[in-house]
Each structure stands twice: as structure tokens, then as C-alpha cells.
A and B are shown apart, each in its own frame.
Chain A
Amino acid sequence: MSGLLSYLVFFASVVLILGIVTLGLNLQWGFTGLFNAGVVGFYAIGGYTHAILTAQPLPGHLGNLGLPWLAGIAGAMLVTAAAAWLIGIITIRLRADYLAISSFGIAVTIQLVTLNWQALTGGPNGLTRIARPLSDVFDTPAAYNLWYLALLAFITAIVYFGLERMLNSPWGRVLRAIREDELAAVALGKNARRFRLEAFVIGSTLMGLAGALYVGYIGFVSPFDFLPILTFQAWAMLIVGGSGNNRGALLGALVVWSIWTVSGIAVSKLVPPSHAAQGAAVQVILIGLALVLMLLLRPRGLIGERSIVSRHANE
């Protein structure tokens, strides 16, 4: 496989993984109005749990249990869900901003844990030899990457159709009702707190799943795979694609990641290495400005939410 083609396979895999993150965020923000400012925290919890559960045993490590891939994925989702539940149960009953602040706090805390708890996370060196599914069947890198892309496409499809199904069910309608008018929904006997908590936990669990899939793909993990900028990228994907629309979330992941990658390449080509830090800063500044402008000028995003008045309105 030529260099460009194999790069495209890698690129598509990353887009799908980030697409799952954005779908999770869309459930929280687009459909429920919950502000998660710590996307990278949940993503990292998933990734690290998977690594700790499945990495080959190594002396001096608390984790590295050497469990199979599937156990790693399941464990990652469970631990992420537990963390989200803990934050949610404390803050969802309070002011809406408190969830934002607390989720941001989780992300900071997780980053510190990954850097400093050597015995569990390997510190700055991270963990290696993490379980990759069917890595003995597809033994060349090209074949493996294609197989993993197919796997990711399959999982993304399950997540997408599962979410669509849920959101079109009575459960999804209640979420939107609460987002639009909490008082009215509560007056109809809906427990707003419980629905919010459920949406927050499910959305975060998807981020954890994506983290585990990412780590399972590259086969190692380090704190530098989970930089705080990822939270911002996921939000950019959602806002650009159009929050409240799952296809928009996936499209946003593709568009924003393309822009990010291309601008990153452009910066590295145009800016001399001695000014690499400034070049990276310009990249963040431009994307940040684009996002704020998007919020001001086209808050619906590229696709946006379909506004349904009533299915019977035209009859």
C-alpha cells in the first residue's frame, strides 16, 4: 500500500474515533444541554483503563493485567461511566455551570494522575504492549490498519444507529423537552435530574469507548496522547457540524480534523523549527477564532438540528 493510501486509512480511523467522541458530546450538549468541559478527561479514562487492563504484565506496575481486548473495552466503558456518574450525581442538581467546572476539574486531575502515578500509568513514559484485537491474524501493518478501520466503521455505525434509535424513542423526546423547557417537562412528571444524569453518563461512556479504541489501535499510551486541546477540538467538531444532529457531529469530526491536520502540516512547512511553538499557537488561535465567529454568526453549524413542529402539522 502506498504511503498516501496508508496515511488516508490512518486519517479515517482517527476521524471515526473522534466521531464517536463527538457523538457522545452531542448527546450531552446537542440533545440535553449539558456542558462537558472535560471531554479529554473521559477519553483518557477510557484509554488508560484499557491500557491498564490489557497491557502485558510488567514488574513494578500495579496494572498491566494482560486481560483480553474485549475485557479492556468493557472495563474502559465501565470505569468511565462510574467517573461520569460520580461527577454527575454531585453537580447536575446544581447550577448548570458547575458541571462544566467539575468536568474540567476531572480532566485536569486525570492528566495529573497519568503524569504522576508511575506505578499505575507509567508516568510520562506511558504503557506499551497493549492488546490489539486479532493482531496475530492480520500480521502486516497495512492489513491490520485496514481491518481496524473496518472494525471502527462497524462500531461507529452501531453507536450512530443506537443513538438515533434512542433519541427518537420517548426517552430522547424527554431529553429535548427538558432542554427546551425544564419546568414544563417536570410539570409533566419527568424526573429531569435523572434523565440528565443518564444522558451525561452515556455520552461520557462513549468518550471512554473512543479512548479505548484509540489506545487499542496504536498499541501504546502516554499522557501526550490526551492533551487538553482535545476537549476544544471535540467541541469545535460538534459546533461546526451542528449540535443536535448526529450526522452533523460525524461531518464535523471529518471537517475539523481535516482542517486541523492540513493547517498543522502548513504550519510545520511554513514556520521554521525555531518558532514551532509560535506556529502551533497560531493554529490554535485561528481555530479558536473561527469557532467563536461560528457561535456568533452561524450558531446552527453546517447541518444543525432539524426543527420538528409536529408530524401532523401538514396534514
Chain B
Amino acid sequence: MIGQALTDGVLTGAVIGLGAIGVSFTMQIMRFANFSHAELLTWGGYLALLIVGFIGAGAPTAGLSFGWQLLAAALLAAALTGLLAWMIDRLVFRRLRGSGAHHLTLVFASFGLGLVMRHLVVLLWGHESRFYTRELQIANEVLPGIRVLPDQIFILLLTLLIVAALHLFLTYSRTGIAMRAAAESPGLSQACGIDVERVIRNTWLIGGGLAALAGVFTGLTPQLNPENGASLLLALFSAAILGGIGSLPGAVVGGLFVGIAENVMLLVVSPGFKQAMPFMLLLLVLVLRPQGLFGERREGDR
């Protein structure tokens, strides 16, 4: 029982972590909690569905329920969602930043935008759950008493690969170093000749792209629904804050934490309360260690 819960926790947690990276970076670099980020997951999932509609999900390959086509669709959807996120920034968030509005006005705008984005999905694709593929999968018993779908193992490995690549990118590439500098201190990095608007663009492209992948993964196991993103919103925030705002390993570890806590708690609490679990964890973190696991305490963050 507990073994299965831990395994399920790691599997969902990896996807939450992937989605939380964008939340964490936005919060660090642009200093606001983006309530519409969860809808980028939904949009990514549905954009991939749109592409799959043209090229198909592919014949099942190597025990997976899909072929390379779905993977290609996911990558294309990630690029499109990144662009969408950047476009929304140009249309709304940048204008608000420029107008010198209270930074909470951005939070509120994101709140309204999230609602609009979610209902656009309902309008375009309807309420009903959708599937990329109708292939049935049988869970393999990887350890005694622990069953995992081949798709889930694939998603986990792919997520680890993406995070490792992103880590190398942020550590060694010029663009990555600029991003980290801007996150540390926007004013100082601007004085050093870093184009902060470019950093912001990259943040949206990366954050949106990762959100889309997370959205495709949640759509793959088990299904695609307009509420997919929104139901993960608290989990994303909790993961980002638990790991420490602005920290890449933090967001991933935070996601794993949230995923595991959620699934282990389900052993004792009714599944109806699942969505509240990340929030309980979040309150605990805010009481005990508000800067998160990997975060640094900052002054004047209000």
C-alpha cells in the first residue's frame, strides 16, 4: 500500500514539478504569483491534442501507448504554448508592469486571464474528457506490490532528462546566466547590460513550454479535461514555494514532495479532499520555513 502510494507520488510529483518550474521563475523574475500558469498546462495539453488530430498519436511503440508522433506533437505544443505565454505577457502583463501598477494588480490580472483561458478551452473543445489514444495499457509489477504503467515510467525518465538539460542550460549558457542574474537582482543585472525584457521573454518561453509538457503528461495519464490545469494550481504553487522561489531543483523536489504527500495522505483521508492536501502542506511550510527548502531568505519582498 505505502509502496504504491510512494510510487504514485513520485510519478505525479514529477509532472507537478515540471509545471511548477514556470510558476517559480515567474514569481522570482517578475515578482508575481501567476494564477493563469495552470491554464498553460491545459492549453499545452489541448494544443497537442489538436496536432495529434492531424498526425495521429502513432502506433504503439516499445510497450508505450503511443508512437513518436505524440512526442513530436508534445514538443510542438510546448513551443506554441511558450509563444502563447509570451504573447499574453506582451498584451497584458508587460503593459501593467509599464504602467507602474501595484504588483498585485498583475496577480489579479492573471486571475482573470486564467478564467478566460480555461473557458476558452471549454468553448473550443467542450467539457467532456478527451484522450490522445484509445490504446489500453496493462500496469507492470516493477517491485512486489507496486504497479506502474509503461507510459508513466517513460514520463518520469523524460522529465528527469528535461530537468537535467535545463539545469545545464541555466548553469553554463550565457542566456541561462543572464536569467539567473536577473532573478537575483533585476536592477543590478540591467546595469550590467543584461536585457531584462529578453530574460522575461525566455522565462515565458521556457515556463510555458514546460507547462505544456506537464499538461500533455497529465492528459496522457489518465485523460485530458478543461479542469486539468486548474485542479493542479494549488499543487504548483505549493511545489514552487516548498522548493524555494526561483530554484530549479527546488521546484522539482517540491513537486515530488507535494505528489508524495498527496498520495500518502490518500491512504488515510477520503479522495474527495485530495486537492486540499497541497494547501495543507503549503501552510505548514509557510509556518516552518517560508523561504522553502532551497530558497534564501530575502528582505523587503512585499
Contacts and interface: CB of A to CB of B under 8 A. Distances in A.
Contacts of B108: 35, 235, 239, 295
B272 A97 contact: no
Contacts of A296: 92, 95-96, 99
Interface stretch (B109-117, B153-161, B163-171, B208-216): B109-117
12 contacts: A29-B104, A35-B104, A97-B32, A100-B35, A105-B234, A112-B272, A112-B275, A239-B108, A285-B123, A292-B113, A299-B101, A299-B105
A29 B107 CA distance: 12
A229 B119 CA distance: 12
A97 B27 contact: yes
Contacts of B99: 296, 299
A29 B104 CA distance: 10
Q: How large is the interface on B (under 10, 10 to 19, 20 to 34, 35 or more residues)?
A: 35 or more
Nearest 10 CB-CB pairs, A to B? A116-B272, A105-B279, A97-B33, A288-B116, A281-B119, A109-B276, A281-B122, A281-B123, A284-B119, A35-B104
Interface string B75-101: 000000000000000001001100101
A83 to B, nearest CB: 12
Contacts of B32: 97
B107 A295 contact: no
A91 interface: yes
A94 B127 CA distance: 38
Given A105-B283, A295-B96, A95 B301 contact: yes
A106 B103 CA distance: 22
B33 A101 contact: yes
Interface in A27-55: 29, 33, 35, 37
Interface of B: 27, 32-33, 35, 92, 95-96, 99, 101-105, 107-109, 111-113, 115-116, 119-120, 122-123, 126-127, 233-234, 237, 241, 270, 272-273, 275-276, 279-280, 282-283, 286-287, 290, 301-302
Given A102-B282, A105-B283, A232 B273 contact: no
A182 interface: yes
Contacts of B290: 94, 98
Contacts, number: 122
Contacts of B279: 102, 105-106, 108-109
Nearest to A106: B279
Given A285-B119, A292-B112, A108 B276 contact: yes
